[in-house]
Amino acid sequence: MRTITYRGEMFGETTDIGLVALRGLEDLNVDSLMTDLPRYHGGIPVRAYATSRRIEVELRVKPSTRKRALLSFQPEPETEFPMTIVWEDELAVADTTERIECRVLRRASISRDENTEWNPYILVIELVASDPAIYENTLDTATLTPFASSAGLSYPVTYPKAYGAGGSGAGTVLVNAGVWETWPTLKINGPSSGTLTNPIVENVTTGKKVELNANGGVSIGVGQQLIVETHPVKRSIVFATGASRYGRLSLASEFWPLESGNNQLRFRASGTTTGVSCFLSSVISGSSWTFSGSSTAVRGPTMRHEIKPQRNATVVRVLIYFSRGADPRRRVVY
């Protein structure tokens, strides 16, 4: 590991605050919620969920930089901030940059290291990440346009009649190449004139949709933007001005993530659709999306698992890399 950056302050190599250790980025804590079968062997397989992640940062700080380090890691009751991690990867041409959203729980300990000439402070900070996944530090967007029908039938009809082409727009295919779901942020921009009403953004593959037509529906005018946060931690439906429209969500709606594999997405609405667009971007995570033709490949979060030997044991260090955007890479260092 080279450096970490948190709340605008960098720690580690090339800085005046040393990074001694970054703990808690090993294997995830998973609740399987398995239910045993009555009168049979085994249990009922159910989906496993990862719990929140605890992180511990240990810094070596000069007396002159102690206050600056403490101010960067102020305990937070609720708000999470991105921690950017730069890893030195021997298998790659360039270093790997990843990120995780977390907040400070407490500054666990502050002590002096008496074994060195300049007696630095040793700071240990405990953080928690509600989303335990470690994501790539890249953010891109995809764009959906609402379905637009071709010209309708005019009367009186004269035969033989040449019918127009079918409608266009409305959706695209996003390919999540990994195994970890990614929750998108949806930003629906209003039309160039008139009013867009009752927008629906649907993941056709999973059959889930966000439908805003309850209690009078939603109207989006010229210059307005409606933002839908789908992640369970930040779930909301608001205009850019802050006005909430959560109450317009239909009972048939269900917030959806981008699942592993193909995701066929569709955008529909009523009213004026000229100039309307729906931008998709990752929420919290920095998943890297690469575009190819009409489909979009999504490379999701990279999880890094590091297993360290116990003391007085045979020294065997195993590093296993799981990457959603490529085949898993494994290496064993003896």
Domain chopping of the chain, boundaries: 3-33+45-134, 141-150+166-295, 303-333
Task: State which fold the 141-150+166-295 domain adopts.
Answer: Jelly Rolls (2.60.120)
pLDDT at 77: 87
Comparing 289 with 254, which gets the higher pLDDT? 254
What distance in Å separates the CA atoms of residue 311 and residue 304, rounded to the nearest whole number? Answer: 22
CA 178/CA 194 separation, integer angstroms: 41
Chain mean pLDDT for the chain = 76
What are the pLDDT digits (tens) for 144-174? 888 765 555 566 766 765 554 444 455 788 8
Residue 314: the pLDDT is 36
Q: What is the pTM of this model?
A: 0.68
Question: pLDDT digit string (tens) for 190-228?
Answer: 998 999 999 999 999 999 999 999 999 999 999 999 999
231-281 pLDDT, tens digit each: 888 899 999 999 999 999 999 999 999 888 888 999 999 898 888 888 877
Are residues 241 and 145 in contact, defined by beta-carbon separation less than 8 angstroms?
Answer: no
Q: Tell me the pLDDT tens digit for each residue of 47-75.
A: 778 889 999 999 999 888 989 999 999 99
* 95 Rama class: left (phi>0) / alpha (psi -120 to 50) / beta: beta
Q: Which fold would CATH assign to domain 3-33+45-134?
A: Elongation Factor Tu (Ef-tu); domain 3 (2.40.30)
